[in-house]
A and B are shown apart, each in its own frame.
Chain A
Amino acid sequence: MNQDIQTSHAVVAEGLGKRYGEQWALRDFELAVPTGSVLGLLGHNGAGKTTAIRILTTLASPTEGTAKVVGHDVVAEPVRVREQIGLTSQAATVDGLMSGAANLEMIGRLYHLPRKVARARAAELLAELQLEDAGERLVRDYSGGMRRRLDLAASLVASPPVLFLDEPTTGLDPESRNELWDLLRQLVGGGTTLILTTQYLEEADQLADDVVLLDHGKIVATGSPGQLKARHGGERVVVTVDGADDLGPAAAALERVAAGTAEIDREGLFVAAPASESTRLIEVVRALEDGGIDAHDVRRREATLDDVFFSLTSPRARAASSETTTDTDQDIDREEAAA
Chain B
Amino acid sequence: MNANAISVATPLPKVPAGPARLRWLAADAWVLAKRQFAHIRQIPEKLFDVTLQPVMFVLLFAYVFGGVINVPGGGNYHEYLIGGIIVQTLAFGMMGPGVSLATDLGEGIIDRFSSLPMSRPAYLIGHLTAEFSATLLAIAIMVGSGLIVGWGIASTPLEALAGFGLIFLIAITSIMLGTMVGVIARSPDAVQGIAFVAVFPLTFVANTFVPVGGLPDGLRQVAEYNPISAWAAAIRTLFGNPTAIPDGAAWPLEHPVIASIAWCLAILAVVVPLALRAYRRRTTG
Chain A residues with CB under 8 Å of chain B are 20, 54, 57-61, 79, 82-83, 85-87, 89-95, 97-98, 102, 106-107, 109-113, 117, 121, 124-125, 128, 130, 138, 154, 156-159, 183, 186-187, 189-192
Report whether A92 and B109 are in contact in the complex, using a CB–CB cutoff of 8 Å.
Answer: yes
State A94–B111 Cα separation when bound (angstroms): 10
What's the dominant secondary structure at chain B's contact region?
Answer: helix
Report whether A59 and B10 are in contact in the complex, using a CB–CB cutoff of 8 Å.
Answer: no
Min CB gap A31→B, angstroms: 18
Known: A61-B284, A79-B15, A186-B1. A111 touches B116 (CB 8 A): yes
Which of B39, B43, B108, B285 has the largest count of A CB atoms less than 10 A from its CB? B108
Report whether A191 and B7 are in contact in the complex, using a CB–CB cutoff of 8 Å.
Answer: yes
Report whether A186 and B3 are in contact in the complex, using a CB–CB cutoff of 8 Å.
Answer: yes
Chain B residues with CB under 8 Å of chain A are 1-10, 12-13, 15, 24, 27-28, 31-32, 34-35, 38-39, 42-43, 107-109, 111-118, 122, 283-285
Chain A residue nearest in CB terms to B111: A89
- A60 partner residues in chain B, CB cutoff 8 A: 284-285
- Kindly identify which residue among B1, B9, B12, B284 contacts A111, using a CB–CB cutoff of 8 Å: B12
- The number of A-B residue pairs with CB atoms under 8 Å apart is 118
- B284 partner residues in chain A, CB cutoff 8 A: 59-61
Report whether A82 and B42 are in contact in the complex, using a CB–CB cutoff of 8 Å.
Answer: no
Min CB gap B173→A, angstroms: 28
Min CB gap A302→B, angstroms: 32
Report whether B112 and A107 are in contact in the complex, using a CB–CB cutoff of 8 Å.
Answer: yes
Enumerate the 5 nearest inter-chain pairs by beta-carbon distance, A residue then B residue, closest first: A91-B108, A190-B7, A186-B3, A93-B112, A93-B108
Report whether B115 and A87 are in contact in the complex, using a CB–CB cutoff of 8 Å.
Answer: yes
Min CB gap B115→A, angstroms: 4
- B27 partner residues in chain A, CB cutoff 8 A: 109, 112
Report whether A128 and B1 are in contact in the complex, using a CB–CB cutoff of 8 Å.
Answer: yes
State A92–B111 Cα separation when bound (angstroms): 10
- A130 partner residues in chain B, CB cutoff 8 A: 1
- B10 partner residues in chain A, CB cutoff 8 A: 111, 113, 117, 121, 157-159
Chain A residue nearest in CB terms to B31: A109
- A79 partner residues in chain B, CB cutoff 8 A: 15, 117
State A16–B65 Cα separation when bound (angstroms): 66
- A59 partner residues in chain B, CB cutoff 8 A: 111, 114-115, 283-284
- Kindly identify which residue among A86, A87, A106 contacts B35, using a CB–CB cutoff of 8 Å: A106
